[in-house]
Chain A
Amino acid sequence: MSTTPTTLFDKVWDAHVVRKIEDGPDVFFIDRHFIHEVTSPVAFLGLETRGIGVMFPERTFATADHNTPTINQHMPVKDPLSANQLQALERNTAKYGISHWGLGNPKNGIVHVVGPENGITLPGMTIVCGDSHTSTHGAFGAIAFGIGTSEVEMVLSSQCIMQPKPKKMRITINGKLGKGVVAKDVPLFILSQITASGATGYFIEFAGEVFENMSMEGRMTVCNLSIEMGARGGMIAPDETTFAYLKGKEKAPAGEAWDKALAYWKTLKTDADAKFDLELNFEASQIEPQITYGTNPGLGTGITKHIPKAVEVKDGEASYKKALAYMGFAEDEAILGKKVDYVFLGSCTNGRIEDFRAFASIVKGRKKADNITAWLVPGSHIVEAQIKEEGILDILTEAGFQLRQPGCSACLAMNDDKIPAGKYAVSTSNRNFEGRQGPGARTLLASPLVAAAAAVTGVVTDPRELL
């Protein structure tokens, strides 16, 4: 009997549909649910108002990250509103029996860093969280995406959400990435080609040699940024790299269960003749180290290029001019050599061990530039411990940098880590929106290598010159 060829996305999606509603969304089952202190309190309040409970508390995992300080975490949180949110999470998780890695817990960290590193995220799962960068977990061949607070309440109370099935897009990139070009540059490049809304309505599968050759950390960086393309999420088929990463992780299956899981995971790939609604192809050789110059992640370009003229970009002219005015940039200016004030290494995009290794590879034997304030924030305590173990901390200290404690930090600047108005930050995070890193802050998104190059030279510098 011949069956129609299907995509990886179809396989995982279709296996999670509890009910199809005619002319409506699918009732979609969620295997794993992550929650944090900012988008969950109102959902718990909703449960109470309705007088309903949590259906499967063992499927939800809580960590505090969005609004936590990145220094002196052993001290009481000073801001009363932030402290209130942390207490609410503590209270709510205790009440319903949900696992909680709060501040000070050795497993604490950014939700999209701790899920994978503890083996909670597995191939073929459906994963949601009230944070749009939940797409990160797609690196394991899972369907993972961000949800709103009403949906957090749905998952808590019924382990399901209502979702129309998105369209499918495949982005294939073959070839080998050049020297100094790392995982982050790939989605930034794609964004510069298709814009920040280029994948709206789609779920992306990333395929081709570039992704096959990436580490799990790199794949997470790529899938993390799929949401910035407007996509619901992005995923990469699991392979030997995935399995090797998962083997032995605390919550990953072990023994017989591992063998069984592995057999299933190996079936998770797109069939040869499966159809996508849209296919895009790029070549690795097209990609140089990238940097953004505008106020959405689609406004980026190769680091050696000039800022495009309004006629060359797909954003409307008024929006584009507004973006450049906010950034204090002009059309056709060179980006190399622009003065930088802050450097931020961290976030769920680039707060993993590989990112710290990359940063250290450039600052090693050099010194932090005097005009730079640098915030280096590991994604989790596990990453922090690894940084120390591998001797990276010594390299950083030697070069004049300090390490902060884990959390989202300047990625969304909800805590005290705010870039001051008008200042320029080269940031490894994911969003350069107006005010995202603090009111008036000007963000240039780039890879850890570009961030390191700026940190030691004080200006936007091509990292290839320092490698």
Chain B
Amino acid sequence: MAYDKFNILRSSAVPLPIENVDTDQIIPARFLKATERKGFGDNLFRDWRYNADDTPKQDFVLNNPIYSGKILVGGKNFGSGSSREHAAWAIYDYGFRCVVSSFFADIFKNNAINVGILPVTVSPEFLDKIFKAIEADPKAELEVSLPDQTITILATGENESFVINGYKKHNLLNGYDDIDYLQSMKEEIKSFAAASKY
């Protein structure tokens, strides 16, 4: 599935200072029944966002109009639990292009990059600074530069660099995905398979 290229993203951010946000919260299992990839953003954080009667829960951050932007900032161990890529689709479909946390669950991190979301891992201290900056000004902007691998709180100029491997970076910058790459090496894979034990 093609996605938009990622380069430099400058945006305000939505804070979700909760730890262990698992993929069952990001998108509950009962919304996984689709056979197509569309509309998942409507059910992003469904049970935190809506009451049982579908009315919005006013105290949830996505229902608070003072927060908006393309960056979601979450607490430690973001995206734990189920491998459902639907979680990443829901985040992308809602309009986020970048998720910031001090720690990501492995499968989520992989899924995120595969659908075109940049997961940015920062130190716990820097995460704290981001939350404070948003608390001080809900419109506070962050700048995430993929080419430089840095994230900056624009109001204060504080910044930190983040790690991403060169291959994934190249893909995100160009809007390529792994399937394009694998298709280009089919012959090599076939001979590998022919020699494999199973």
Q: Which residues of A contact B (CB under 8 A)?
A: 15-16, 18-19, 21-25, 27, 29, 31-32, 38-39, 41-42, 45-46, 49-50, 52, 55-56, 67, 79, 81-82, 84-85, 88, 122, 124-125, 130-132, 146-151, 153-154, 157-162, 164, 166, 196-197, 200-201, 230, 232, 264, 296, 315-316, 318-319, 322, 412-414, 421, 431, 433-436, 439
Not counting A55-B186, A124-B198, a sample of 16 additional A-B residue pairs whose C-beta atoms are within 8 angstroms of each other reads A21-B167, A24-B165, A25-B167, A27-B182, A32-B198, A41-B34, A45-B35, A124-B197, A130-B83, A132-B82, A150-B178, A154-B182, A162-B167, A318-B17, A318-B19, A421-B52
Identify A39's interface contact among B24, B84, B105, CB under 8 A.
B84
Across the interface, do A29 and B81 meet the contact criterion of CB distance under 8 Å?
no
In the complex, 28 of the A-B residue pairs with CB atoms within 8 angstroms, ordered by the A residue number, are A18-B185, A27-B185, A41-B35, A42-B37, A55-B186, A81-B34, A84-B33, A85-B33, A85-B35, A122-B198, A147-B107, A147-B110, A148-B111, A149-B85, A150-B179, A157-B179, A158-B179, A158-B183, A160-B189, A162-B181, A197-B20, A197-B80, A197-B105, A296-B20, A316-B75, A316-B76, A431-B82, A435-B28
Identify B189's interface contact among A29, A67, A131, A148, CB under 8 A.
A29
Q: How far is the CB of A423 from chain B (nearest CB, A)?
A: 15
Within 8 A of A (CB), among B159-196: 165-168, 177-179, 181-183, 185-186, 188-190, 192-193, 196
Cα A125 to Cα B17 in complex, Å, equals 40
Across the interface, do B166 and A23 meet the contact criterion of CB distance under 8 Å?
yes
Within 8 A of A (CB), among B105-157: 105-107, 110-111, 114-115
Cα A465 to Cα B41 in complex, Å, equals 49
Q: Which residues of B contact A (CB under 8 A)?
A: 1, 17-20, 22, 24-25, 28-30, 32-37, 47, 52, 75-77, 80-86, 88, 103, 105-107, 110-111, 114-115, 165-168, 177-179, 181-183, 185-186, 188-190, 192-193, 196-198
Main secondary structure of the interface of A (DSSP, over half): loop
Cα A164 to Cα B165 in complex, Å, equals 9
Across the interface, do B177 and A158 meet the contact criterion of CB distance under 8 Å?
no
Identify B83's interface contact among A22, A146, A159, A196, CB under 8 A.
A146
The tally of CB-CB contacts under 8 A between chains A and B is 196
Question: Taking each of A67, A79, A161, A435, which has the highest tally of chain B beta carbons within 10 Å of its own beta carbon?
Answer: A435
Residues of B within 8 A of A319 (CB): 18-20, 75
Across the interface, do A150 and B111 meet the contact criterion of CB distance under 8 Å?
yes
Residues of B within 8 A of A55 (CB): 186, 189-190
Cα A322 to Cα B181 in complex, Å, equals 44
Residues of B within 8 A of A322 (CB): 18
Cα A230 to Cα B47 in complex, Å, equals 24
